[in-house]
């Protein structure tokens, strides 16, 4: 099964993200991510055997040990990929070092446990659109708010349908 580890949307940031998403709808073409799918990816595992899920849960718990809930503030919009077909996301302004410590802790535990995880640099973000056409360069001002990061989730991801289906296999409170 396809697995990834993510933080739940910080309590307090959800409404602002929905507002940013709504204003993007009026000016950017692409595929919108439903607010029920919003998350902040910490580590992408990819295909893992179902029999290894319990081990992954243990490692993610270990990686979160010693990390306390922390405050963070939403920041600006950013993109990954080509301007004609980009992932469009909203990032975080305050809380960068805490986000980084959380992601590095989880990634190190998984790596030390023998799992190959995606090693791209970590930029905490919430993807709001896929295949967005941002060639005209006009983006709205994002809505920002402050919230608390307190939950890490191991998700399975099923991409066989019209939209991704994520299932929370385990929730870990910081
Ligand atoms: P879709 O691929 O249909 O657009 P999705 O990207 O939301 O849907 P997945 O591809 O299963 O679903 O990815 C789950 C999460 O992991 C997303 O946040 C995605 O951005 C991230 N992710 C996917 N592939 C990688 C990768 N190779 N490296 C880092 N993060 C990844
Ligand atoms: Mg994907």
Residue position matching structure tokens 């507002």: 19
pTM of the entire structure? 0.97
The model's pLDDT over 37-57, given as tens digits with 9 standing for 90+, comes to 999 999 999 999 999 999 999
Ligand whose nearest atom lies closest to the CA of 130: 1
Our CA dihedral for 18, 20, 23, 28, rounded to 10 degrees, sits at: -110
pLDDT averaged over every residue in the chain? 97
Strand ranges of the sheet holding 86-92, from the earlier edge strand across to the other edge: 29-32, 125-133, 86-92, 70-80, 146-149
Task: Give the number of the ligand closest to the Cα of residue 165.
Answer: 1
Q: Report the residue among 36, 44, 152, 165 best suited for mutation to probe ligand 1: largest number of ligand atoms under 8 A from its CB.
A: 44
Q: At the topology level of CATH, where does 2-173 sit?
A: Cyclic Phosphodiesterase; Chain: A, (3.90.1140)
At residue 112, the 3 state secondary structure works out as helix
Structure tokens at 93: 């302004």
């Amino acid at each position: 099964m396809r697995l990834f580890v993510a933080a739940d949307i910080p309590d307090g940031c959800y409404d602002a993200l929905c507002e940013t998403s709504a204003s993007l709808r009026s000016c950017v073409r692409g595929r919108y991510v439903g607010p029920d799918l919003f998350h902040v990816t910490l580590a992408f595992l990819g295909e893992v055997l179902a029999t290894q899920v319990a081990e992954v849960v243990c490692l993610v718990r270990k990686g979160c040990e010693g990390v306390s809930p922390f405050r963070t503030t939403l920041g600006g919009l950013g993109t990954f990929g080509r301007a004609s077909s980009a992932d469009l996301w909203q990032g975080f302004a305050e809380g960068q070092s805490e986000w980084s410590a959380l992601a590095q802790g989880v990634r190190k535990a998984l790596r030390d446990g023998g799992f190959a995880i995606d090693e791209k640099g970590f930029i905490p973000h919430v993807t709001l659109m896929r295949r967005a056409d941002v060639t005209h360069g006009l983006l709205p001002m994002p809505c920002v708010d402050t919230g608390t990061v307190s939950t890490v989730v191991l998700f399975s991801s099923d991409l066989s349908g019209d939209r991704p289906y994520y299932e929370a296999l385990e929730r870990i409170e910081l």
